Structure 1
Amino acid sequence: MARSIGLALVSGVTAMVLSACSSEADSPVATASEAPSPATATPDEEAPDNGRVPLTAGTTAAQATTLCAADEAQMFSCTLRGGRIASVCLAQGAQGEFAQYRFGRPGAAPELVWPTKPGEQIEWASAPYSGGGEAQMSFAVGDVRYVVYSKVVRTNFTPGETNDPAITDGVVVLRSGKVAARFSCDGTELKPVDVNAARAHLPEAGDLFTYDTE
């Protein structure tokens, strides 16, 4: 399967991990249709020329496994339960490149796009675990926070035996700091959190936005 544990990213700073695969959540809190959606895409005629113009119905994604356009780098992308896609794309705006989260079905206008205004910016964070680590990208609208993550956790500590890592990727939705929805990637054409791109383009938070990603 096209999912590899890119622990080569653990160079320089041990916490910078992750090129990961995914698994279904055992008991997701809600379906995609039930997840809070505090922001939506702006129609073309309403989108301001401010460098935060969202992907709209008139913009075609590069393929059915991402909501990023063909000329945009994927900082994260995966197919979730129910056929929806969550992507973080390195888009080009009037003020240069910026990261934008998009959520929805392929071939349709995204149900959620963020940011859409100047000054809004996705943040990233990472943390080391024994034999692995976790990287996240996140943004908040009011009391709702969206967190995309890629995570590797060692499960076997027997000397001389393999690590047997548990590898997961997905999206967690928090409302007032508590998990409101949790979606695991299904492994289809997964693009885990790109730590190098996050480091280059996003402000870094001091800690993970949530440790409740499984």
Structure 2
Amino acid sequence: MTDVARYVQDHPYQMLYGLIGLAILLVITEIRHAVETAALRRAFLRPAAVTPVAGTAPVAPAPARTGGALVSLALAVVILGGAFYLLPLLQGQLGQGGSAAPVAQALTSGTYRGVGTSPVGSADLTLTLDLLSTPKRVVLANPTLGTFWMRGEVTPESGGTYLSGTLIAASGASWGTIKAHVTARQVTGSVGAGPVQWQLDLRR
């Protein structure tokens, strides 16, 4: 479960887009199935060209049932609602080592350098940690974008430290978010604003 939660933390928008696509595909499939079922029912229940026997009333075809499509639509709404509700829960709790014992050799300081990659391009990044200071200091720097300070949580997890918070620019404005797993040798996770997220690959 920890690996699943970590993947959700690092790829929240990809997970959300996948759930939306799954729900749309489910609705389309069920609507198509309902239409085909209704067409077959009408074909089988079409009255034959024979003379009706005196004294018998014609039998009306049974109305087509649309319950399947309605159930699929309700299921899609539940999936989407669950995604919007559970995604922040998974991001905020499961991946932060909630069930993992604190690491004795928890990271206290260090500098990691590398790149962040995204569909719009890559960026050279440097992450500096000083967890013994008060308050704890986490700084992300880029030669073009500038320097950003993290305001958030630093949580011990199995194998290292989990960072989760908001990146604040030198002007004091909120620039984006960071969700990163820091070990003794590397940093993985994501930083960015909204759907534009850079995947981290930083090394010590």
TM-score by structure 1 length? 0.28
TM-score by structure 2 length? 0.29
- Higher relative helix content: 2
